[in-house]
Chain A
């Protein structure tokens, strides 16, 4: 069994995002990391491999800098790496990203895909369901845990009514929420081995995906609107004042 894990490199959650000339200035991002939910997808894929066998292929679509993230994935145990080189992801719309990733999954002959429930840059949550549809796979989102029995899988997912254990069979895709799993850290041996691992690198056109005609065009980026400075109060006596303001000024209670 091959498990494909979709990993996106994003600005680290601690990085400042600055805008210049109407665009987010990527060159000013201090640190690039694996998108947080993708880390849980990778960890769960590695655990599934350890319990049920198979191999884990880490797939990313992104610019050259994303190679570092694939090496990080190899350092914790990803068996093979596929990098679809696309210099400007912002120029692609959701259908194009999904077409590339679905083609990449099929290129790796994977029937099982793990990804994040949403990426930390787009905050969208479109890719998992979209890729699942293109693969003809069942899709489970908000997943915290996956176990396998042969070709069938059970997953824990969160829903508004509480958690549910659900069953699906391959082909299937799981989009991960945070879960309670502890993330592994690479050890020295892992880091050394990862340095020797070479990623397969392809272009979108090698996968037969046309990246020219995006139907979403970004007009501009801007910093978030400044909030007017709030009102500050000291001490317990101010609680009554704030409550009356919430009622009369803000009208929220």
Chain B
């Protein structure tokens, strides 16, 4: 099985999810070729166990993001029965475009893979699971934290190809992020606040805890819609971001079905809510019935001791 993995990487290097993509490739019996767009992350990609080779794809088009152009450049560098990318916004767009270029089907956001190729994935925002059989060639994107990461004892050979494509999306203005905080889509631990936080200023308590444990701060839609200070980029849920961190801490969030849609597949969920009947407790691994005013200072103190 000839498998191409499109590394999730940026100027900041290789994203750790790439080792999970290799894990997914191995699950269908492939020793993958890993493509690094723009040459980013090559140094780390070579040491992922099980990688057959790494191709650094360099070209002018990688100067700014145009999914169509990136896909064209990466598609010509990739072979393969199966193309695997991460189910991030960029990964989804690139993989979908490569699939369209090649006229092959794409299955997005896969959480299970077996030779054959059998895929499972959540549909209806996790309200059901779909199992299907996909013919090759095909493209697949993989959800973060669904597959074990491959190890780090590889030593794949690297080659470089020069491959660009016409860029049609011109960046006119980059608007600095409101804060330098970690994005919920990137984080392995998330602490989110809801309307129960009472006032946007109280999110500072969440930020202090986030800083201690290296977490991102998220929010419910009610928080985002009610308070201008809480940007939409922080929203988790059906019309916000879908997240699958190792740990999700929901504070003052009731657990409406649309919120659960975005976070219920987190590995561990902690809920802090003063209402013992809040639906969020239905999905929490550890539920704490308390007000945030009481619980957060204690949480901060305990985490500080670690």
Q: Which residues on A are within 8 Å of B, measured CB to CB?
A: 11, 13-14, 16-17, 19, 24, 36-37, 93-95, 98, 117-118, 120-130, 132-134, 138-142, 144, 154, 158-169, 172, 178-180, 214-225, 227, 230-240, 242-243, 245-247, 250, 252-253
Whether the Cβ atoms of A13 and B238 lie closer than 8 Å is yes
Whether the Cβ atoms of A231 and B289 lie closer than 8 Å is no
The contact sample of 24 A-B pairs, CB cut-off 8 A, is: A17-B127, A17-B128, A94-B105, A95-B99, A117-B89, A125-B93, A126-B99, A127-B96, A130-B96, A133-B71, A138-B168, A163-B174, A180-B232, A216-B138, A217-B132, A219-B132, A220-B130, A224-B127, A238-B288, A238-B290, A243-B299, A243-B302, A247-B306, A250-B247
Q: What 3 A-B pairs have minimum CB-CB distances, sorted nearest first?
A: A138-B168, A133-B100, A162-B177
Whether the Cβ atoms of B235 and A178 lie closer than 8 Å is yes
Whether the Cβ atoms of B97 and A252 lie closer than 8 Å is no
Q: Which residues on B are within 8 Å of A, measured CB to CB?
A: 10, 65-68, 71, 88-90, 92-93, 96-97, 99-101, 103-109, 118, 122-135, 138, 168-177, 183, 185-186, 189, 213, 232-233, 235, 238-240, 242, 246-247, 257-258, 261, 264, 267-270, 276, 281, 283-290, 294-295, 298-299, 302-303, 306
Whether the Cβ atoms of A14 and B257 lie closer than 8 Å is yes
Residue of B118, B125, B130 with most chain A CB atoms under a 10 A cut-off: B130
Whether the Cβ atoms of A163 and B175 lie closer than 8 Å is yes
B52 to chain A, nearest CB (A): 26
Q: Which of A17, A142, A154 contacts B89 (CB 8 A)?
A: A142
Q: Which A residues are in CB contact (< 8 Å) with B96?
A: 94, 124-130
Given A216-B133, A224-B129, A230-B281: A141 and B67 within 8 A (CB)? yes
B289 to chain A, nearest CB (A): 5
- At the interface, is chain B mostly helix, strand, loop or mixed? mixed
A84 to chain B, nearest CB (A): 18
Q: Which A residues are in CB contact (< 8 Å) with B173?
A: 164-165
Given A24-B128, A98-B100, A243-B302: A160 and B133 within 8 A (CB)? no
Q: Which B residues are in CB contact (< 8 Å) with A218?
A: 130-132
Whether the Cβ atoms of B127 and A162 lie closer than 8 Å is no
Whether the Cβ atoms of B126 and A224 lie closer than 8 Å is yes
Given A125-B92, A125-B108, A215-B134: A242 and B270 within 8 A (CB)? yes
Q: Which B residues are in CB contact (< 8 Å) with A236?
A: 290, 294-295, 298
A149 to chain B, nearest CB (A): 12
Whether the Cβ atoms of B287 and A162 lie closer than 8 Å is no
A143 to chain B, nearest CB (A): 11
Whether the Cβ atoms of B133 and A217 lie closer than 8 Å is yes
Q: How far is the CA of A233 from the CA of B288 in the complex (A)?
A: 5
Given A95-B103, A215-B134: A167 and B172 within 8 A (CB)? yes
Q: Which A residues are in CB contact (< 8 Å) with B257?
A: 13-14
- At the interface, is chain A mostly helix, strand, loop or mixed? mixed
Q: How far is the CA of A46 from the CA of B219 in the complex (A)?
A: 29
Whether the Cβ atoms of B306 and A235 lie closer than 8 Å is no
Q: Which of A16, A239, A252 contacts B299 (CB 8 A)?
A: A239
Whether the Cβ atoms of B268 and A120 lie closer than 8 Å is no
Contacts A93-B105, A236-B294 known; list 4 others, CB within 8 Å: A124-B107, A134-B100, A168-B168, A217-B133
Q: Which B residues are in CB contact (< 8 Å) with A242?
A: 270, 286, 288
Q: How far is the CA of A169 from the CA of B172 in the complex (A)?
A: 13
Q: How far is the CA of A169 from the CA of B66 in the complex (A)?
A: 13
Q: How far is the CA of A144 from the CA of B177 in the complex (A)?
A: 15
Q: Which A residues are in CB contact (< 8 Å) with B298?
A: 236-237, 239-240
Q: How far is the CA of A98 from the CA of B130 in the complex (A)?
A: 20
Q: Which B residues are in CB contact (< 8 Å) with A239?
A: 288, 290, 295, 298-299, 302
Q: Which A residues are in CB contact (< 8 Å) with B169?
A: 138-140, 166-168
Q: Which B residues are in CB contact (< 8 Å) with A129?
A: 67-68, 71, 92-93, 96-97, 100
Q: Which A residues are in CB contact (< 8 Å) with B106?
A: 94, 124, 126, 130
Q: Which B residues are in CB contact (< 8 Å) with A253?
A: 189, 213, 247, 303, 306
Whether the Cβ atoms of B132 and A235 lie closer than 8 Å is no
Whether the Cβ atoms of A223 and B168 lie closer than 8 Å is no
Whether the Cβ atoms of A133 and B105 lie closer than 8 Å is no
Whether the Cβ atoms of A123 and B170 lie closer than 8 Å is no
B233 to chain A, nearest CB (A): 6
Whether the Cβ atoms of A123 and B288 lie closer than 8 Å is no
